[in-house]
Amino acid sequence: MPLVLALLSAVVYGTADFLGGLAARRTAALAATVVAQGVGFAVVLLALPLFPGGPLTSATALWGGAAGITGGAGVALLYYGFAVGRVSVVAPVTAVCSITIPVIVALGLGERPGALALIGIALAIASVALVSRHEDPAAASAGRDRSVAIALVSGVAIGVFLVCLARAGTASGLWPLVVARATSTVALAAVARVAGIPLVIPRSVLPVAIACGALDMLANALYLVATRDGPLGLVATLASLYPASTVLLARTVLRERLRPVQSLGLACAAVAVVLITSR
């Protein structure tokens, strides 16, 4: 069940990220991110009574705050990368780091996945690398595509976020998510104020930002519950397969074409899911 929840969180994460990228293309990326984070904060407050738990401890609050800082930074950079680059490239590149960091931490903490699961993890990382392959003559002539650099930094932040949220645990119910989302919303709003970016977005973009924030919080909740009973390395790997749904949505809605190597990457991701979830 934890691995199923992790896979479901990946689908929801990918959908939320696609909507965040759409919003970032139609207004200031940071403004769209702050609105989405604020919506997520409201959603988790409403859902708090539905997931009772123990009192919020100082350790849980610290892990939640760390998750908020890293997650907020990672999402803001991800949406900005979507705004300046191709969704089908930025999302998979980000996922390479967001997969690797939790797996390394999990191994350091003593987790020892089975042989099939290890093969699945390796195949998942390879699938993300394949999906991120692209040909962009303009980027090649200009040197390194800046959206790739943004995606790499975003991936590191998201990977640390996944670790921090897992370490926060579920003993306090959804309080870790409350702390995380409050921290990220306030921090990003402060950055926007310092940068002089107004937090008002067009009315046409508001529904997209609201849906993004609500789905992102749902994905966080699914991931948090999955880490309660599932091993961090496997759960984080499955959750980090979110680019598959993001890329498919980009193909369907934005008409971004998939190259054969990217289609191969999606197929590898499907095989990786089977290996990781097998017993």
Closest CA to 40 of 182, 214, 166: 214
Give residue-wise pLDDT tens across range 8-63: 998 998 899 889 888 888 888 899 999 999 999 999 999 888 887 788 899 999 99
Is the pLDDT score of 81 beyond 90?
A: no
Sign of CA dihedral 207, 195, 218, 271: positive
Number of other CB atoms surrounding residue 229 within 10 Å: 12
Rounded Cα gap, residues 272 and 259, in angstroms: 20
> What pLDDT does 73 receive?
92
> What pLDDT does 128 receive?
67
Q: Looking up tokens 């390796």, which residue turns up?
A: 122
Rounded to the nearest 10 degrees, the angle between the axes of helix 232-239 and helix 206-229 is 160
The encoded tokens of residue 266 equal 């999606």
Sign of CA dihedral 264, 269, 274, 275: positive
Rounded Cα gap, residues 252 and 21, in angstroms: 14
- Are 235 and 3 within 8 A, CB to CB? yes
- Are 277 and 3 within 8 A, CB to CB? yes
Count of structural domains within the chain: 1
Rounded Cα gap, residues 104 and 179, in angstroms: 25
Is the pLDDT score of 123 beyond 50?
A: yes
Closest CA to 29 of 109, 113, 85: 85
| Rounded (5°) CA angle 72-77-82 | 130
Number of other CB atoms surrounding residue 133 within 10 Å: 16
Rounded Cα gap, residues 187 and 185, in angstroms: 6
Show the domain range for 272. 2-277
Residue 243 contacts by C-beta under 8 Å, 6 or more apart in sequence? 14, 91, 92, 94, 95, 128, 131
> What pLDDT does 241 receive?
78
Number of other CB atoms surrounding residue 239 within 10 Å: 31
Helix intervals (H) in the chain: 2-26, 29-47, 58-84, 87-108, 115-131, 137-141, 146-168, 175-195, 206-229, 232-239, 243-253, 260-277
- Are 157 and 74 within 8 A, CB to CB? yes
Does 145 or 271 have the greater pLDDT score?
Answer: 271
Q: Looking up tokens 């990003």, which residue turns up?
A: 188
Give residue-wise pLDDT tens across range 188-215: 999 999 989 888 889 999 999 999 999 9
Is the pLDDT score of 141 beyond 50?
A: no
Is the pLDDT score of 70 beyond 60?
A: yes
Give residue-wise pLDDT tens across range 154-167: 989 988 998 998 88
Rounded Cα gap, residues 138 and 210, in angstroms: 34
